[in-house]
Amino acid sequence: ETVLTQSPGTLSLSPGERATLSCRASQSVTSTYLAWFQQKPGQAPTLLIYGASSRATGIPDRFSGSGSGTDFTLTISRLEPEDFAVYYCQQYHYSPFTFGGGTKVEIK
């Protein structure tokens, strides 16, 4: 199974700051099949990024994705209050489709 390792586990930042989240895969993943999700307490995940770098419909442009092969990054350019949440990467290249363990972005 393709293991996705997200770091850091928790990111403590202030509104307005830049957030950089990492997702490392145990084997190379085609960028087409790498996604990022945001999840808030009590809610279903929301797709932010698909294809490693394409924003889903309605997602603000402060969210951006990059990377290839085994290393992928989600960047939030300037944190808004509503951005404090848990973020997951996911690969859907190899079965089983796996998620990373998540990065919690919390208010400092």
Q: Which residues bind other proteins (CB under 8 A)?
A: 35, 37, 39, 43-47, 50-51, 54, 56-57, 88, 90, 92, 95-102
Q: Which positions ≥6 away from 27 have C-beta within 8 Å?
A: 2, 70, 94
Q: Nearest approach, Cβ of 27 to other proteins (angstroms)? A: 17
Angle at 99 between CA 56 and CA 54, to 5 degrees: 20
Q: How far is the CB of 13 from other proteins (least distance, A)?
A: 21
Cα–Cα distance measured from residue 17 to residue 89, given in angstroms and rounded to the nearest whole number: 21
**Nearest approach, Cβ of 63 to other proteins (angstroms)?**
15
d(CA 41, CA 10): 15
Nearer to other proteins, 16 or 41 (CB): 41
Q: What are phi and psi of 54, to 5 degrees?
A: -95, 130
Min CB(99)–other proteins separation in Å:
4
* Residue number, 2 or 17, with CB nearest to other proteins: 2
State which residue, 35 or 79, has the beta carbon closest to other proteins.
Answer: 35
